[in-house]
Amino acid sequence: MADQLSQDLPREPGTTNRIWLWVWLGALVLGVSVALWFYRDELWHILDVIRHASPAGTLLAVACEAGFLLTYWDLVGRLYRAAGTPVPRGALFRLLLVSGVVDRLLPTAGTSTIAVLAVAGARWGVTWASTLWMMGLFTSLGLVATLLIVALSVVLLSTFDIPLPPSIHQALLVGRWAAIGGVVLGAGFLWTPVRRRAVRRVVHWIGGLIDWWKAHEPAWWKRWRARRRRRTSTGSPNPGATELFDGISPTQATPAPASPGVPRRRRRIWDPEERFRAFEATWERIRKEPGLWGVALAENLLLYVLRIGTLASFMSALHISLPWHHLIAGYGLVVLLVNLSALPFSLGIFEVSMAALYHWLGVPWTQSWALTLAYRGITFWLPIPLGLLAMVRWPGQPPSPGAGSYRNAEEPSE
């Protein structure tokens, strides 16, 4: 798997990117080490609480997390089959584990998953169009499921008169600064060779998705755009724009024809018409899939149910007594704060939000941090070694094919 990624996305010469990578990792390790040193006494108490957790509750939490991974695997496979590019189930499971490692190690989430699934999965026919459709559907349905969980938390808060923490705005402030830090750290990785090439392809195909939307935009959207243009129009052309483009309209700005000696598959990725046809064909397959939307939304909700089950199992293992409506309402508030922070994978803000919220709901600080670290360890950190194992070529496994044999037919080698 690692060979496939390195073959399709070769490293560029230069040491600046490697220096920046090691500087970021060194700063991360140094910051965590300093924090652990200053809070070492509290950390020993927290680890002692985790050490005395009951095995039955811990095994139940592991079972819930295994169910989460299997449901996520089935959901992504279902969306890929609807997009017309089925992937072997074993290969898809490995791809998901690898993409999870990449997203956890790189602080800019989203494009890493798309790049891994589209590039490494191309040997099984996965295209960029189908991957973007799959991720778009997965994200949209996940947003609907998130809103339902948050709405359920609001209903529980009002029904059972659960007291909100008096300083919840402080948690929002922490989330805001964590988001700023995540953007600053993530911007550096956009300059690494692998990330730069992956982002360039993702942006190109997102542009194709925008073109497809413009061709299918509903009437109400067209009316809204027309009203907005009338409100913002000044009635006079922009002379700077006319001079800049020399009177060339967007419809006239077509790419120059390629020379006959260039292979056709090298030219097609930048062809807007070919890109539009790929999105159109994928959308037609998805639209005709019976029961896709309901089943996918149900599986998205099941993902949240399993995560709440993991949290409840750890509460039982750590001997934490909390009413069920406090448990669900607290989890919904954590999800809300994490989404407001806009930090990929919510590294840091998730831990602070969960520990603080459950402490405000009546859990002692030591137990709330033990609960947070146990939950985060199995849901965030455990998939990293699993994904690294998925990258290993085991004895007897056939070697990876060359770059040209599994790259998408419509994409160039650049």
* Chain mean pLDDT for the chain: 71
pLDDT, tens only, 184-201 = 444 444 444 444 555 555
Residue 123 belongs to some domain of the structure: no
Determine, yes or no, domain membership for 105. Answer: no
Helix residue spans in 318-378 (DSSP H)? 324-341, 349-360, 365-376
> What single-letter amino acid sits at 14?
G
In the 8-state DSSP scheme, what is residue 310? Answer: H
Q: Is the pLDDT of residue 406 over 60?
A: no
Percent pLDDT > 90 in the chain is 18
The pLDDT value recorded for residue 18 is 62
Q: What is the pLDDT of residues 330-374, one digit of tens each?
A: 898 888 777 765 554 556 677 887 888 898 888 998 999 999 999
134 domain-assigned:
yes
Indicate if the pLDDT at residue 413 is higher than 50.
no
For residue 342, is it left (φ>0), alpha (ψ between -120 and 50) or beta?
Answer: left
Q: Are 205 and 111 in contact (CB under 8 A)?
A: no
**Rg of the chain over CA atoms, in angstroms?**
24
pLDDT on residue 190: 43
| DSSP-derived 3-state class of residue 151 | helix
pLDDT of residue 16: 58
Q: Measured between alpha carbons, how far is 148 from 301 in angstroms, rounded to an integer?
A: 9
DSSP code, position 377: I
Task: Please say if the pLDDT value at position 386 is more than 80.
Answer: yes
* 122 within a domain of the structure (yes/no): no
Backbone angles phi, psi at 402, to 5 degrees: -70, 170
How many angstroms separate the CA atoms of 383 and 386, rounded?
5
CA gap 215, 276 in Å, rounded = 9
171 domain residue, yes or no: yes
Domain, as residue range, for 319: 52-86+129-217+264-380
Angle, alpha carbons 101-110-338 (nearest 5°): 90
Residue 315 has pLDDT above 50, yes or no: yes
What digits encode the pLDDT tens for the residues 30-44?
Answer: 877 887 788 788 889
278-305: per-residue pLDDT in tens?
777 777 877 777 788 889 899 999 999 9
The span from the CA of 127 to the CA of 282, in Å, is 10
What pTM does this model have? 0.67
| Residue 4 pLDDT class (50, 70, 90 cuts) | very low
pLDDT of residue 26: 76
Residue 154 lies in a domain: yes
What is the rounded average pLDDT of the residues 323-332?
90
Tokens linked to 88: 């072997």
Q: Is the dihedral of CA 390, 304, 365, 171 positive or negative?
A: positive
Domain count, the chain: 1
Q: Is 390 contained in some domain?
A: no
Residues contacting 202, CB < 8 A, separation 6+? 111, 114, 115, 128, 132
- How many Cβ atoms from other residues are within 10 Å of residue 303's Cβ? 17
Burial profile 237-259: b = 16 or more Cβ within 10 angstroms, e = fewer: eeeeeeeeeeeeeeeeeeeeeee
pLDDT digits (tens, 9 = 90+) for 219-273: 777 777 777 677 665 544 444 333 333 443 334 434 444 445 444 444 444 466 6
Q: Which residue has the higher pLDDT, 243 or 391?
A: 391
> Phi, psi (5° rounding) for residue 83?
-80, 0
Asked whether residue 18 is assigned to any structural domain, the reply reads no
